[in-house]
Amino acid sequence: MITAKILIVDDDRDILETARMFLKQEFSHVQIEENPQRINALVRSAEYDVILLDMNFKIGVNDGEEGFFWLGEILKADPQAVVILITAYGEVDLAVKAMKHGATDFVLKPWKNQKLLGTIMAALQLRQSKKEVEKLKLTQEKLSNAIDQPYIDFIGDSPAIQRVHELIDRVAATDADVLILGENGTGKELVARAIHRNSLRKDKVFISVDLGAITETLFESELFGHVKGAFTDARQDKPGRFELASGGTIFLDEIGNLSMALQSKLLTVLQHRKVQRVGATQEIPVDFRLICATNMPLNEMVYEKKFRQDLLYRINTVEIRVPPLRERVDDITLLCDHFLQAYGKKYKRPGMKIDKAVLQKMKKYFWPGNIRELQHAVERAVILSEDRVIASPELLISGSAAKPKQDSPPRTLEEMEKIFILQSLDDNGGNVSQTALALGMTRTALYRRMKKHGI
């Protein structure tokens, strides 16, 4: 029995019943329809692999106009649809014309069963390749996104970052699941990409998923895919991120933000390495290397029953902690040089430097937004500095800029919020958990605001 969904539309009940009886022995789903007016509703709610369509529905009419019309409607709803026309002997010219309009093939009435089967099998193969092409296109899109990300060197040679490099080298050669821990902007995604680039899967796709940005309702369809008609917006079959990542690496960022319900769903996939698209009945095996990252204290969350212990055990075969910038101030000079060069090129201001005294101040600052904050600071300074040597610390360090001079009070609520957050971080020595507590918000909410303000 072949798994395929076949739809036959013809106004002749006898033809429909005979076709169904025969095809049901070969295919898992065979649906018949006498009324062509129902075609639109049918093709919008389900995905048929092959549609057999009569050319003429009104008795005595044989110009094929109706067939052309419905063929057009089907292709409008699903441009990948595979339609076989059912025609009478005198209508072969019409059928050939219809093939120019997008029909795949035609069968002559009355047909021989084996001939009909052969035509459907060939059409099914075409359908399969069309789907493959569609999937490849999606993967290609994701690949291009990944490739579009400029290759970024992981800058730093402090002892703390050297340890991270060693771990990357050691873990990359294996297929072990990796959990990357670290504050916002410390370079967790960069570490994940470095592991992938040095792994056996390096020629395959790297799919990055920001779990914090996917809503609860879209989670399953985004990650596991869906079949056409599974919900209102599901216009066609779509593979999820796990399927797309097959053969390569999937990077699940912000894993600490998942609700308990979604954690269970994720765990099932990680345990069985199979996904079931939303609305589908079959499971699809997927082969991926898993890398997760979070800025949340997962062990504490397990203790508070906010994160499943079994999920933590599943994802943390190897843990890599990326240290915050304030624990590797030795890297600041290298990072500054790197960003000065990159932004000097971008904004056509080559040869820019940072004054030594300012650099010293930067090393004492607590960098709550870590490298991302440093990167934005250098970019801003390259744009705003009037001199080639950047000598005003406030161009680079939000901490001192946070203490506004009397003559430049904040002008907008946004500015106020940023200053308030920076001051509070300053008061709490850069500790995000304590700052969140002091400001009466969750760590996640604070991180979101810090990201918004480029802190």
Q: Which residue is nearest to ligand ATP (CB)?
A: 187
The reply on whether position 324 binds ligand ATP by CB under 6 A is no
Rounded Cα gap, residues 331 and 320, in angstroms: 19
User: Of residues 286-305, which lie at the interface with ligand ATP (CB under 6 A)?
Assistant: 295
Cβ atoms within 10 A of the Cβ of 139, count? Answer: 20
- From 8-16, 100-108, 154-162, 275-283, give the range in contact with ligand ATP by CB under 6 A: 154-162
User: Which of 196, 241, 372, 418 touches ligand ATP by CB under 6 A?
Assistant: 372
Cβ atoms within 10 A of the Cβ of 304, count? Answer: 9
Rounded Cα gap, residues 50 and 47, in angstroms: 9
**Helix, strand or coil for residue 321?**
strand
- From 65-73, 81-89, 194-202, 371-379, give the range in contact with ligand ATP by CB under 6 A: 371-379
The reply on whether position 238 binds ligand ATP by CB under 6 A is no
Q: How far is the CB of 249 from ligand ATP (least distance, A)?
A: 15
User: Which of 190, 223, 252, 266 touches ligand ATP by CB under 6 A?
Assistant: 190
Question: What mask of x and - would describe binding to ligand ATP in positions 123 to 152, judged by CB under 6 A?
Answer: -----------------------------x
User: Which of 52, 71, 371, 395 touches ligand ATP by CB under 6 A?
Assistant: 371
Rounded Cα gap, residues 281 and 274, in angstroms: 12
Question: What mask of x and - would describe binding to ligand ATP in positions 240 to 259, judged by CB under 6 A?
Answer: -------------x------
Rounded Cα gap, residues 96 and 98, in angstroms: 5
Residue whose CB is less far from ligand ATP, 188 or 201: 188
The reply on whether position 155 binds ligand ATP by CB under 6 A is yes
In the DSSP assignment, the letter for residue 278 is: B
User: 97-100 contacts: CB < 8 A, separation 24 or more?
Assistant: 97/64, 98/55, 98/64, 98/67, 98/68, 98/71
Among candidate residues 422, 425, 406, the one with its CA nearest the CA of residue 414 = 422
User: Total residues at the site for ligand ATP (CB under 6 A)?
Assistant: 17
Which residues does 48 contact at the CB level (< 8 Å), separation at least 6?
5, 6, 7, 31, 42, 81
Residue whose CB is less far from ligand ATP, 220 or 253: 253
Residue ranges in contact with ligand ATP by CB under 6 A? 152, 154-156, 182, 184-190, 253, 295, 371-372, 375
